[in-house]
Structure 1
Amino acid sequence: MENVIRPLIVAGGAVVITLVVGWAVDQAVRRIGRRHPESPLWGPLRRCRVPFQLALCAALLRGAYGYAHIARDHRAAVGQALVLFLIAACAWLAVRVAAAVVESSYARFASTNQDAARVRRVRTQVTLIQRVVSVTVGVVAVAAMLLTFPAMRTIGASLLASAGIIGIVAGVAAQSTLANVFAGLQIAFGDIVRIGDVGVFEGEWGTVEEITLTYLVVRTWDERRITMPVSYFTSKPFENWSRNNPRMTGTVFFHLDHATPIDLMREHLHDILKDCAEWDGRAWGLVITDTTPTTIQVRALATAKDADDIWNLRCILREQLIAWLRHEHPYALPRINTAPAPGLAEAPDREAAAPRSNDMGPGPGNR
């Protein structure tokens, strides 16, 4: 009976202490957050409660399991399991703490900086830094777990001796993966592309939604997701419409008749823009850019604050100008000449049109 009661007392005591300490720490963090609302650290730090409690409970059990008088045959296995659990909980806690610090730093920067492009750049950098920290902590935790086994410690020397060969083989085998990793770091700190950037990627217009160390996710206008390797952005050209400033200039082309009243059309374009919320008021214009024997090409130009507004503005100008031409000046719309070709009776007199022999000028035959 004692072999059952002792383990229950040890386990129950560790759980109770863990719950009490976890609750006390959470209340303290919440109280500090209320006293210092200007600091965004305390909110994300409360998410560390669960990994903190798991790490504390594992540490208490690991330190007190000897007093539970567990059978000698199971003592080594229980101790090994508790050590592995403690390492995993500590790694989780470290990742959560790092994420809280990174998120609070980004939130503080975003709240005090009005430059949207710089905020997106910092967001991209801190996101990749957080991923690097998570991967590093995970690798260290796995290595620490493996080193807790005696067999792994005995072969550590041989592993270190062959590390150079293994590194060369792994580097050759994972050449593309390593290229993507270095490209991800170059994107993060080289400011090539950032989360939230709008542009054209492989012929698709979209917004950069996520950047990792190996791939990048682009959300298209029709809500599709395109996953691309980050090495693409360091080896091929692409259009970034919000690199430094998201403002854009849009154009709409019309093919119209030569009799189109350009001055009236220009005035109506200005009236449309003054009532349009998408126009940012920077520039506008309407000019003839080309002409053919049957039509003229008219270009309407306007500006907007970003890519979404410029798309809507171009559609509005196209619809309203065509409707205005159709109702007010239908003759300005292009027409196809369907009149029949002149017949033989309407054709000019060929004999009268033919050049006379005495009109050909001096020559050997006219002398």
Structure 2
Amino acid sequence: MPDSPPWLLDLALRVAWAPPWAIGLGLTLAAVLFALAVHDVLVRIVRRWVSRDAFWAAMAVRTRRPTRLAFIVAALSLAASVAPMTAGQAAGAKRVLLVLFIVLVGWIVMTALDIGAALYMRRFNIEVEDNLLARKHLTQVKILRRACAVVVGLVTAGLALMTIPGVRQWGVSLLAAGGAASVIVGLALQPLLTNLIAGIQIAITQPIRIDDAVIVEKEWGNIEEINATYVVVRLWDWRRMVLPLSYFIQTPFQNWTRESAALIGTAMLYVDHAAPIERLRAKLEEIAKASPLWDGRVVALQVTDVTAQVLEVRCLVSARSAPKTFDLRCEVREKMMAFLRDEVPEALARRRLALAET
């Protein structure tokens, strides 16, 4: 080591009695421990510096692991450059470092995607009632970020495998279509790629968004999560329904809040033919105006059908969101029935019989 610094030459002389593998192992452990110690100190400083801002504190936590790997890779590179190794050992160490470097770059790219998405979404508030624009951007960002993460993961895995001679063809198959290995990999990845393409379609066309009120498989719920390959629907009774992304491209479903969160709710009543419709209409307006759930836009009462026994009366009311619409429908139904029972019992549905004299 003619070009090495004097302190390194002195250290080499002091440990010359030890076998080369022990020297290399000691240098590696010392370098890694030193890197971890430096990283821990820097992380503590940064976390204390950004502790007043919850967002940047979360970003510091999110970047802790990739930066730790970066310090470890740098330490291993330094140790490999000074440790006594044979040509074969040096080649093996170089290959390991190359794989770690590729993994590190992929991890950094995915972390950068997470941070960029979080910074972008700071502009929108999903908690407000009229959050259509925020839900639109949140859905696009989440789907595209996960799609990019899948692509970055495949590229990272492919490049890492290409550095290993025994499995190099598998790495090539992840990056290009060719050979028998690519057919096997393609078949294995077909469901993933199908849902990945469906995710991109959903991000562009937006048939669903985060927190949309939907009816799927005859169940009502809200879109809770949109992941890279599946969607989680939170049902009204807190159950979760998990569906593949492709379901929302290939299967008809109802989206109640695609254009607006506001909805018109319906409450059906069945009353006698002698029911005072104008009094019922006035009572419905009174109930709607007194309710904090009503948005002040729609309130109407209509006779929608007449049968031999009853009148079918439809009460229409509007609210700002699907949950409020459901609650308002229940409130209207309860109070209208109480009004019929207490104020106009003659309007309750009844069955008439004609008794013939014998």
TM-score of the pair, normalised by structure 1: 0.78
Q: Does 1:237 align with 2:255?
A: no
Describe the SS at the equivalent of 2:62. helix
Specify the code of the residue in structure 1 equivalent to 2:305: D
Residues 314-329 of structure 1 mapped to structure 2, 5 A cutoff:
314-329=329-344
Residues 151 and 238 of structure 1, relative CA distance in 2, 3 Å threshold: closer
Give secondary structure in 2 for the equivalent of 1:2.
coil
Secondary structure of the corresponding residue to residue 225 of structure 2: strand
2:41 matched to which residue of 1?
23
Equivalent of 1:11 in 14, 29, 45? 29
Q: What residue in structure 2 maps to residue 136 of structure 1? A: 151
Letter in 2 for 1:207: N
Q: 1:154 to 1:263 in 2, by over 3 A?
A: closer
Query: What is the aligned partner in structure 2 of residue 355 from structure 1?
Result: none
Q: What amino acid is the match of 1:325?
A: L
Q: Output one character per residue of 1:298-329: Cα deviation in whole Å (capped at 9) or x when no partner.
A: 22221111111111111111111112211222
Q: Which moved more, 1:84-93 or 1:207-216?
A: 84-93
Q: Which runs of 5+ in 1 are unaligned?
A: 344-367
Are the aligned partners of 1:7 and 1:65 in contact in 2 as well (CA < 8 Å)? no
In structure 2, how many angstroms separate the alpha carbons of the residues matched to 1:248 and 1:92? 43
Distance 1:162-1:262 versus aligned 2 partners, 3 A rule: closer
- The offset of 1:194, in angstroms, is 1.2
Describe how 1:237-316 pairs up with structure 2 within 5 A.
Answer: 237-316=252-331
Ranges in structure 2 where 5+ consecutive residues have no aligned partner: 1-16
Q: Is the contact between residue 246 and residue 306 of structure 1 (CA under 8 Å) also seen in structure 2? A: yes
**1:94 maps to which of 99, 109, 113:** 109
162 and 132 in structure 1: CA distance in 2 versus 1, 3 angstrom threshold: closer
Tell whether the 8 Å contact from 1:214 to 1:230 is kept in structure 2 after alignment.
Answer: yes
Answer yes or no: is the 8 Å Cα contact 1:256–1:298 preserved in 2: yes
- The alignment status of 1:191 with 2:206, answered yes or no, reads yes
RMSD (CA atoms)? 3.5
Q: Deviations over 1:322-350 (max 9, x none)?
A: 1221122222111123564321xxxxxxx
The answer on 1:68 being equivalent to 2:83 is yes
The equivalent residue for 1:351 is: none
Q: Indicate how the Cα distance of structure 1 residues 222 and 235 shifts in structure 2: closer, same or farther if over 3 A, else same.
A: same
Distance across 1 between alignment mates of 2:114 and 2:175: 32
Q: Is the 8 A contact 2:214 2:256 kept in 1?
A: yes
Q: Which has the larger radius of gyration?
A: 1
Residue in structure 1 matched with residue 123 of structure 2 by the alignment: 108
1:10-41 deviation line (CA, Å, top 9, x unaligned): 4224422443245336635764786xx6x956
